[in-house]
Amino acid sequence: MYDLSSVRADFPILSREVYKRPLVYLDNAATTQKPRCVVEAIAEEYYSVNANVHRGVHFLSQQATDLHEAARERVRSFLNARSSAEIVFTRGTTESLNLVAFSYGEAFLREGDEVVLTVMEHHSNIVPWQLLRERKGIRLRVVPMNDAGELDLEAYRNLLNERTRLVCCAHVSNVLGTVNPVREMAAMAHACGAHFLVDGAQSVPHFPVDVQSLDCDFLVFSGHKVYGPTGIGVLYGREELLEQMPPYQGGGEMIARVSFERTTFERLPFKFEAGTPDYVGTHALARALDYVSDLGLDAIQCHERELTRYAMEQMALLPGMQLYGTAREKDAVVAFNLEGIHPLDLGTLLDRLGIAIRTGHHCAQPLMERCGVEGMARASFALYTTRAEVDAFVAGLDRVRKMF
């Protein structure tokens, strides 16, 4: 296990005060804080290496290109992809999903084909497929869940058929913290000839993710949720699928040759990276992946799951507490409501105590409907969260509860 006090010293924002109270930051599922090394990586690139990549013969351009492509290789290694050609840089999970919906949809989906989603998907893994449905006449099928927040695998099996082309599933629910059995689900999808996409936004920051072991066809994640900068993300895709998919956008960087008669496109992965890439962001993302790898993802997972268990035990002792998501496999997210208190009021009052949580529908309105609520409060933990912060959070909940 890593030294928590040393780790917290790497994150200057954790030492600040809010309303003259120590900050207790429990909104990590929305975005994580950044260690010094990531911010320093951004500064050092701008101050020392800044030049456009892939296009210049001068020293700075060559050096920036080397760092950018080294970052791609770092992501490949982090995910255990077969080739760096399978790593496409995007602006984040949302753009990665839209890229697949547009490009894979154009190449592989026809009217009447089916895409399977789950009831716990983030809006970013629902809306692009609805837009595709409007364009191409595909059908969307939805895997239900039980009251513990676990997917119904028998219902999932029954949804799969000869028309199923793609299954899209969150590795970890951003609301319930449920860790879905994506390896098993991918095998079931492949058995009926379908491809499988994993939304790894809430798994990649918390435990080891190996795309070859999962045997998924696509995996997406965002840099800002894994202690990296905002505006950078990743699409992993099997090389043979990416080769068949058309470009998502057109412009510079993704072309081999352009004339007014025709354009030929670059090789993978550049075919999907039109325009100047966020080469500063990729370098900082690589530094963030180094940071969590040096701490050890197994150690991070152990720490966060112990905190989650402890938090749920303490929260359950409060009168009027309603916890959502009690799956056997659960990660560092706790969703809840307190009887008689609107989640927005709860979040606002906790904020005055210096405690940052998230409230609302969490970009998962179909899941809210399944649970019979308009919204929930959510606390989410990170590698730097302490037991003392959990205690302060629970004490804050109790104080707010007694006000109503």
**Terminal-residue alpha carbon distance, the chain:** 41
Locate the domains of the chain by residue range. Answer: 4-30+296-401, 39-293
Q: Measured between alpha carbons, how far is 11 from 28 in angstroms, rounded to an integer?
A: 13
In CATH, the architecture of 39-293 is 3-Layer(aba) Sandwich (3.40)
**pLDDT beneath 50: ranges in the chain:** none
pLDDT the model gives residue 62: 96
Fold equal for 4-30+296-401 and 39-293 = no
The whole-number pLDDT of residue 256 equals: 83
Which of 192, 302, 363, 371 is catalytic? The answer is: 363
pLDDT given at position 55? 82
CATH number for domain 4-30+296-401, candidates 3.20.20.60, 3.30.930.10, 3.40.50.300, 3.90.1150.10:
3.90.1150.10
Give 312-320 contacts, CB < 8 A, sequence gap 24+: 314/390, 314/391, 314/394, 315/394, 315/397, 318/394, 318/397, 318/398, 318/401, 319/401, 320/401
Check residue 188 and give its pLDDT. 98
Residue 282 contacts residue 49 (beta carbons within 8 Å): no
- Buried-state track 236-255, b at ≥16 Cβ within 10 A, e below 16: bbbeebbeebebbeeeebbb
Sign of dihedral through CA atoms 379, 384, 390, 393?
negative
Tell me the DSSP string of 163-224.
Answer: TEEEEEEESB-TTT-BB--HHHHHHHHHHTT-EEEEE-TTTTTTS---HHHHT-SEEEEEGG
Query: What is the pLDDT, as a whole number, of residue 263?
Result: 85
DSSP type of residue 267? P
**Predicted pLDDT of residue 302:** 98
SS3 call for 244: helix
Can 169 be counted among the known catalytic residues?
no
